[in-house]
Structure 1
Amino acid sequence: MIEFRGSKTQPLIFDGAMGTYLKQISPSDLTIEEYNIEKPAIIEEIHRQYIEAGAQAIKTNTFGANPIQYDRNLCRTYLEAGAKIALKFQDRAEVYGSIGPMETPDLGDYLFVAEVLYQAGIRKFLWETFPEADRLLEIIDSFCQDHGDTLHITSFAVFPSGETRLGVLAQEALEAADKNPHVQAMGLNCISGPYHLVQLVKSLPTYQTPLGLMPNSGYPTMVDGRLQYKENPSYFSQALAQGLNYGLSYLGGCCGTDPSYILELSRHLKEVPGQAKSLKKEERVLKKTESNLKKKLKAGKQVMVVEYDPPQEATRDYFKKLSLLRQMEVDAVTLADCPIGRPRMDASLTSLILKKDYGLDSVVHMTCRDRNINAIKALLLGLSLEGIQDILLITGDPVPSVDREDVKAVFQFNSARLAAFVKNLNRDLENPFTISGALNINAPNFDSELVKAKRKIKSGVELFFTQPIMGKNAIVQLRRAQKELDVPILAGIMPLVSYRNAQYLHNQVSGMQVDQEVLDSFHEGLSREEGEEIGIGWALDFMNEIKDEVSGFYLITPFQRLQVIERLLKDYGQGKEK
């Protein structure tokens, strides 16, 4: 294993950007990697300029050279050429093989890139601009099995708010890298400017692994259809050097920087030698609260929540039936987030009205369909401040095909990733969230469903809401889930109310499976009262069969008929008293 040379008192100075600087001095239709073959002298000149400016380490021009972007043979050519050019300067500076993230599930694609660079003479690797740690560390571990004579720096790209594009917090990614024996240094790069990355470092704990920053020069603006960065090397160097007060062991630049930035940075560091003061990082002592629902679950008491979807129109009529919910003494009302991709009154705003005007707790459903990471975080911060702490995270139904030309889904991440994001956000919240997830007990491949559920638990899910029980098989799978999952489960119950209702759910709705015996109990021509009576009877049977096995029930209101849920709860309560 090669030792990392940077330290808190003698930080290693890296070069700056290759791509943005290259396009600035030599604009053409070539991709960045194609310059390695078509115009190698320009790449060589850029390396030279950075070294003369004070860079002690340079990166190969291979960030985007991968088998996803190029044919493998062509990719190999660009990688070998990039390594060859940079290694010409190995007597004057350390040479790091630059590897960027790829849109591929195949770890072999990453290993191919690393292997080609290794065979070309590279022994130090910078894995930069990555959005998560787990997969990256798996790649590095695999590579190091056969290449123990290598050095690895992992660098993650985060927004000023501290999250990657996948919602992974910088602290989470760095903590994972800090524990990995094959990582010799780690840091943050790209997306954010120096001030914001230094502010972020101030809030991080102290790590054993050397930490560094390679920020963008600042934030770009669009000029004549092209992104441009404002030139300010002096500000960049002064702002970045402040990071030495918080234990940084390497510094460099990313997008928008050029040799003038590295020159200013190296000059500034010479003027303030040994600047590392290890200032005490800011620590917040939070008095954490818990929701009423979580307290009751922890006390081992059975909970009862009722789903009552927000209205499709801006009307107060929806709230007229809330007196029924209060009379039922339910523990919370669950509010769906635009189910089946159709707009309804916002679930979060509805939850605030329920809390402030009616004294009712809510479980707010939150999908990944309609919001990006910024919108989700903004919403969560507001909910936490208002004491809305119970959330149900789901990936979300797709937008109906007829609307897709006008309504675009986001799906920046899935429910497991969103749970991990909220779990990390909880660290800094006085009113942290109780994170719930969905469990499909009607899934035909329940083994796969349990694997997903365990992944959700690892990501931070503390409670499961199941799909509605519509038969014996669902109960069998629920019991299996109770044995294999170590979190509370609320069993979903939705009374069927008519023949058409039963047939539609069984044949048209994903995740619903109605037993034939239940289907046969409904027939055309039933009155409304008769249909409700049959549905309530089945719901009671299911509840009574499992009442001693679950942590509570999740009652789904059919067609906003709260009187059906009221009757079900009344009959269930009477049954318990007997």
Structure 2
Amino acid sequence: MANRSLREHLADSLLVGDGAMATYMFQQGISLGQCQEELVLRNPAFVAQIHQAYYQAGARMIETNTFAANRERLTRYGLDSKVVRINREAVKVARDAVGDDAFIVGAIGSICAGRVIDYDEEEYRDMYEEQATALLSAGVDGILLETFLDLKEILIAVKTIRSLTDLPIIAQMSMLEVGRTRDAYTLTEAFQQLADQGVDGVGINCRLGPMEILRSLEKTVIPESLIISAFPNAGRLGIDDGKIRYKSFPEYFGETAPLLIEQGVRLIGGCCGTTPEHIRQISQALEGKKPVLRKNPEPKQLEIIVPEITETKPPKSSVVEQVKKKRTIICELDPPKDLDIRQFLTGAHRLSQAGIDLLTMADNSLATARMSNIALGAILKSQLGIEPLIHVACRDRNLLGQQSHLMGLHALGIDQILIITGDPTRMGDLPGASSIYDVTSFELIRMVKRLNQGISFSGKHLKKKAHFVVGTAFNPHVQKLEAAVNRLQKKIEAGADFVMTQPVYDEESIDNIYEATKDLGVPVFIGIMPLTGYRNAVFLHNEVPGIKIPKAILNRMEKHTDKQLGRAEGVAIARGLLDIAMEKFQGIYLMTPFSYWRMTEELTKYIREQDQSRLAVEA
């Protein structure tokens, strides 16, 4: 074997790879908090012992201990200056640890590593080039790309590395579900694109056990020229006797290895949870066996993982369509902080009668616990015929909860939402609660748009397409408005369909917002919130993020110590602002302060009266 290249060997022979590195290290006492890749510098003998254990178990392809030895990951440990050294040393440690009959491949893992995709492709190319160059210069026999959830990222790696070498490249995808990548490609599509970029082999590793990988291969068409690899996990991770363990025993790997070979697999090893004993069972099971010619499934067998998605269109009554035709009013009314919804429903009904187009409800605004806006939205829509616009904050739900929440909104027919970051929980009435923030508002907008394509956050096809109309918030009260608009533009590029601004309190701000946003290409709803009194104005100006109130307005409010007169003055100021805003904006966003819906009811009637008067004059 020593006289043959890796490519030549795999052309007519089976090859047993090694097993898990990280999980096996942890079993041997390495702390989870350590950088396992750095061990080739700090404790090379320990790494060598693991390579030797797999070699003695029958592995004849050994991976370097470099899965995460890229600049992005090593920077977390302050090791960014050691990228080249770690990769080069890892090759030497592996080469010296095993016999001459073993191939050494440079292991390169996903930089994204399961996180939501939001990265600079050029930076990723640079990082893949840096790592691969170090591995190649140290003398590897090939490159193994592994644990890539997204086709987009692995294609970046392949294109970059293929330009550096003619050595074999084997590209392994990892899946959250059988037969499909996270970014919604079938394995058939993914493997074809990888073949087009010049890889020698394709395969599956991590997350799935032997049987799930087998099922995936059975449903996949693989180009004839490609080597097929399989590196399954030791089953799914579970809890056994209070400890986290992988379920599959070594003997199971020995039983399933021949089944994988029957699917045309030529390179087989193990991933998370596997040990030298798993590899020994594979090696023994394959002893004396020859490669099997791959037989691809018939096209009809692929239908189960390529579901047809019915085309649907956003509702014609969406806020984006409405504002193109007429003045459109979105009015915000916060859900109650208690269990009594009578006043809320009364206010919503009166606002609807006054002429609002949509009622929008915050998602625990100011991080204060309130009744679920999805529940109230369902009541408004089904019982009162009021169209709800639901705020969705990044703060309170992890990705699992966010998708479930959005799927529930879809089921209820609530398709118009405003995505916001959400105030940190330490600001609210439960400061000990956790702020989740799995994703940013940018990322969540993109992910909601994936639902509109019929694709879940994990890449799963959902059989139907959602039709969410997505709004985004805009804070104009910043020192550099241009920078804020640039950020807003990025949200629109991510998929935002309309914009709702923070409340403004002076003519100059309205003019500036109009000039800055008029060419964005999406409707902008200018925010107006009446002040309830002088203390309210001072509080908003000094303590609420994103709101600034001019000195002249503060002076006007200071003159009114009576609460009723203070509210009347607040409404008068808001009417004046509306006169200016209506000259420039078709969309108006009225915010109800402290659930004083009578104030926004009066302003809604004022807007409708002014529009009617204007139409009468034009007629």
Q: Calculate the TM-score normalised by the size of structure 1.
A: 0.80
Q: Does structure 1 residue 338 correspond to structure 2 residue 364? A: yes
Contact 1:332 1:361 in 2 (8 A): yes
Partner amino acid for 1:471?
D
For each residue in 1:466-520, what CA deviation from the matched residue of structure 2 results, as whole angstroms up to 9, or x when unmatched? 1112223432342244244222222212122211122211111111122233223
Q: 2:206 aligns with which of 162, 186, 190?
A: 190
Q: Secondary structure at the match of 1:504?
A: helix
1:218 corresponding residue in structure 2: 235
Q: 2:318 aligns with which of 278, 291, 294?
A: 294
Q: 2:538 aligns with which of 486, 491, 503?
A: 503
**What's the offset of the Cα at 1:290?**
2.2
Q: Does structure 1 residue 465 correspond to structure 2 residue 500? A: yes
For each residue in 1:143-183, what CA deviation from the matched residue of structure 2 results, as whole angstroms up to 9, or x when unmatched? 6699466776776765449999xxx7454999899599978
Q: 2:20 aligns with which of 17, 20, 26?
A: 17
Q: Secondary structure at the match of 1:39?
A: helix
Unaligned runs of 5+ in 1: none
Q: Does structure 1 residue 120 correspond to structure 2 residue 138? A: yes
Contact 1:498 1:532 in 2 (8 A): yes
For each residue in 1:516-559, what CA deviation from the matched residue of structure 2 results, as whole angstroms up to 9, or x when unmatched? 33223211434334333333333333333343543412211111
Partner amino acid for 1:567?
E
Q: Does structure 1 residue 421 correspond to structure 2 residue 447? A: yes
% identity of equivalent residues: 26
Bigger mean CA deviation after superposition, 9-18 or 468-477: 9-18
Contact 2:18 2:270 in 1 (8 A): yes
Q: Secondary structure at the match of 2:557?
A: coil
2:377 corresponding residue in structure 1: 351
Unaligned runs of 5+ in 2: 1-5, 114-118, 455-463, 614-619
Q: How has the CA–CA distance of structure 1 residues 471 and 126 changed in structure 2, closer, same or farther, with 3 Å as cutoff? A: farther
**What's the offset of the Cα at 1:566?**
1.2
Q: How has the CA–CA distance of structure 1 residues 511 and 284 changed in structure 2, closer, same or farther, with 3 Å as cutoff? A: same
**What's the offset of the Cα at 1:372?**
0.7
2:245 corresponding residue in structure 1: 228
Q: Does structure 1 residue 363 correspond to structure 2 residue 389? A: yes
Contact 1:153 1:183 in 2 (8 A): no
Q: 1:96 aligns with which of 90, 103, 106?
A: 106
Bigger mean CA deviation after superposition, 358-367 or 215-224: 215-224
Q: 1:408 aligns with which of 416, 428, 434?
A: 434
Q: How has the CA–CA distance of structure 1 residues 10 and 120 changed in structure 2, closer, same or farther, with 3 Å as cutoff? A: closer
Q: 2:63 aligns with which of 59, 66, 89?
A: 59
Partner amino acid for 1:435?
V
Q: Does structure 1 residue 37 correspond to structure 2 residue 44? A: yes
2:579 corresponding residue in structure 1: 544
Distance 1:240 1:351 in 2: 53
Q: How has the CA–CA distance of structure 1 residues 572 and 94 changed in structure 2, closer, same or farther, with 3 Å as cutoff? A: same
For each residue in 1:214-246, what CA deviation from the matched residue of structure 2 results, as whole angstroms up to 9, or x when unmatched? 543322223466431112567679989999999
**What's the offset of the Cα at 1:373?**
0.8
Q: 1:259 aligns with which of 273, 279, 291?
A: 279
2:401 corresponding residue in structure 1: 375
Partner amino acid for 1:371?
R
Q: How has the CA–CA distance of structure 1 residues 145 and 359 changed in structure 2, closer, same or farther, with 3 Å as cutoff? A: same
| Aligned positions of 1:440-479 closer than 5 A | 440-479=475-514
Contact 2:507 2:580 in 1 (8 A): no
For each residue in 1:14-73, what CA deviation from the matched residue of structure 2 results, as whole angstroms up to 9, or x when unmatched? 64322223444x4466864426613244233245257x35x7x54211224434336467
Q: Secondary structure at the match of 1:366?
A: strand
| Aligned positions of 1:155-174 closer than 5 A | 159-160=176-177, 169=183, 171=185
For each residue in 1:319-349, what CA deviation from the matched residue of structure 2 results, as whole angstroms up to 9, or x when unmatched? 2323203312322211111111111001112
Distance 2:9 2:589 in 1: 56
Q: How has the CA–CA distance of structure 1 residues 473 and 390 changed in structure 2, closer, same or farther, with 3 Å as cutoff? A: same
Q: How has the CA–CA distance of structure 1 residues 570 and 265 changed in structure 2, closer, same or farther, with 3 Å as cutoff? A: farther
**What's the offset of the Cα at 1:371?**
0.9
Q: CA RMSD in A?
A: 4.7
Partner amino acid for 1:452?
R
**What's the offset of the Cα at 1:374?**
0.8
Partner amino acid for 1:547?
M
Q: Secondary structure at the match of 2:532?
A: coil
Q: Does structure 1 residue 277 correspond to structure 2 residue 280? A: no
Partner amino acid for 1:443?
V
Distance 2:353 2:271 in 1: 60
Distance 1:383 1:326 in 2: 21
**What's the offset of the Cα at 1:197?**
6.8
Q: How has the CA–CA distance of structure 1 residues 402 and 205 changed in structure 2, closer, same or farther, with 3 Å as cutoff? A: farther
Partner amino acid for 1:17?
A
Q: How has the CA–CA distance of structure 1 residues 344 and 192 changed in structure 2, closer, same or farther, with 3 Å as cutoff? A: farther
Distance 2:588 2:531 in 1: 16
Distance 2:224 2:589 in 1: 46
Distance 1:405 1:10 in 2: 62
Greater CA radius of gyration, 1 or 2? 2
Distance 1:234 1:81 in 2: 34
Q: How has the CA–CA distance of structure 1 residues 405 and 463 changed in structure 2, closer, same or farther, with 3 Å as cutoff? A: closer
Distance 1:162 1:109 in 2: 29
2:459 corresponding residue in structure 1: none
Q: How has the CA–CA distance of structure 1 residues 488 and 524 changed in structure 2, closer, same or farther, with 3 Å as cutoff? A: same
1:324 corresponding residue in structure 2: 350
Partner amino acid for 1:80?
R
Q: How has the CA–CA distance of structure 1 residues 298 and 285 changed in structure 2, closer, same or farther, with 3 Å as cutoff? A: farther
Contact 1:37 1:78 in 2 (8 A): no
Q: How has the CA–CA distance of structure 1 residues 89 and 476 changed in structure 2, closer, same or farther, with 3 Å as cutoff? A: farther
Q: How many residues align?
A: 569
Distance 2:595 2:486 in 1: 33
Q: Calculate the TM-score normalised by the size of structure 2.
A: 0.76
